[in-house]
Amino acid sequence: MKVAVVTGSARGIGNAIAKALENTGYICVYTDLTPHMEGVDHYIKCDISSDTDRKALVEQVYEKFGRVDILVNNAGVAPTVRMDILDTTSESFLRLMNINLEGTFFMCQLFANRMIKQMPPYSKIINISSVSSYATSVMRGEYCISKAGVSMVTKLFAHRLAEYGIGVHEIQPGIILTDMTASVKEKYKKLIDEGLTPIGRFGTPEDVAQCVLAISGGHLDFTTGQVLHADGGFHLRRF
């Protein structure tokens, strides 16, 4: 029995990841904010910014299955309103830090402490960040900062958990067609058409899911702290 937990899996990238893991034989626990989710065998409502919810999720999963082989920290939000960094509010900033950064950090911590006790451990944690972890966007600076923090969270846990055989990895999606990017689709299409990415198309949630499968399938077992760029080559520095 192999068990995966995927946060933010009611739709978009998280949903594609969860389905891909199920298709390769994992029992997948879907988690999100919606009270119920139709069509899945295992769903637990969880607000990852809530310490109470995070702890309840861990307890419920381990009580039912006794182990977790893959944790995918995918849940995250963009600013409700895009604002210049000269105008960004503390409310918007703290909302993104609480969900994207604090939530990811403590999900890693809680599950890692349980994974260490599994026999054998050999579990994996995968954090979904963004190209915004290094590419500036002054109209959503709080998002960039939160995702840059996720990159460091990945490095820290990769360092700390290596001795236990637990790999920790980061996937940095680029411009992916989801609900989150729907409002700026035409803007991004124009940029892609003008050569923003070497692979000249939008990414899909399934493109990100394939990166998760490379890790979960054991193809990167001699790596940890690895960054997979699901971005059409956006990260390349080009002349």
Query: What CA–CA distance (Å, rounded) separates 41 from 4?
Result: 13
Please check whether residue 192 lies inside any domain of the structure: yes
Give the CATH number for residue 131.
3.40.50.720
User: Would residue 238 count as lying in a domain?
Assistant: no
pLDDT in tens, 195-211: 999 999 999 999 999 99
pLDDT at position 119 over 90: no
Structural domain includes residue 239: no
Please report which confidence band the pLDDT of residue 101 belongs to, taking 50, 70 and 90 as the band edges: very high
Q: How many domains does the chain divide into? A: 1
Residue 184 included in any domain: yes
The verdict on residue 236 lying in a domain is: no
User: Band of the pLDDT at 9, cuts 50, 70, 90?
Assistant: very high
Annotated active-site residue in 26, 30, 43, 143: 143
The angle formed by the CA atoms of residues 176, 181 and 185, to the nearest 5 degrees, is: 95
pTM for the model? 0.97
Look at residue 83 and tell me whether its pLDDT is greater than 90.
yes
Kindly state the average pLDDT of the residues 151-175: 97
- Asked if residue 68 is part of any domain, the answer here is yes
CA distance 107 to 56: 11
Query: Do the domain assignments include residue 237?
Result: no
Please tell me whether residue 94 adopts helix, strand or coil conformation.
helix
Per the structure, the complete domain to which residue 175 belongs is given by 3-230
| DSSP states of 38-95 | TT-S-EEE--TT-HHHHHHHHHHHHHHHS--SEEEE------SS-B-TTT--HHHHHH
For the question of residue 143 being annotated catalytic, the response is yes
